[in-house]
Amino acid sequence: MANTRSAAKQARAALRRRALNRSQLSTVRTSEKKIRSLVKAGNTDEASKLLSKFHSQIDRAAKKGVVHKNTASRHKQRVAALLKPAKKA
C-alpha cells in the first residue's frame, strides 16, 4: 500500500500502463501464433500477408518499450526465416 498521495497515484498509473503493455504484447503474440500456424498448415501466401502487419506491431511495441528492440528483431527474424524455405517449396 502506498504511503503518500503521489505514491498512490503512481501505483494507479502503473496499473494502467501494465494493462496497456499486456494488451499490446498479447496482440503481438497472437499475430506471431497465427503466422506460425499458417506456415505449419502450408498456407504461406496468407502468412506472408500477415508478416508485414506483425512486423509493424512488434516494431511499435519495441518503440514504446513493451519489448526490447533486440527481442523484437529476433522475433521478426525467426518468423521471416520460417517463411523463406516455405516460399521456395
Cell numbers describing residue 41 = 498448415
Region for residue 65 given its phi and psi (left: phi exceeds 0; alpha: psi -120 to 50; beta: otherwise): left
pLDDT at position 2, please?
Answer: 87
Domains of the chain: 5-88 (1.20.58.110)
Q: 14-61, pLDDT tens digit by residue?
A: 999 999 999 999 999 999 999 999 999 999 999 999 999 999 999 999
* Widest pairwise Cα distance in the chain: 63
CA distance 51 to 79: 8
Confidence (pTM) = 0.84
Q: What is the DSSP string of 66-81?
A: SS-HHHHHHHHHHHHH
d(CA 75, CA 36): 12
**Cα–Cα dist 50/40, whole Å:** 14
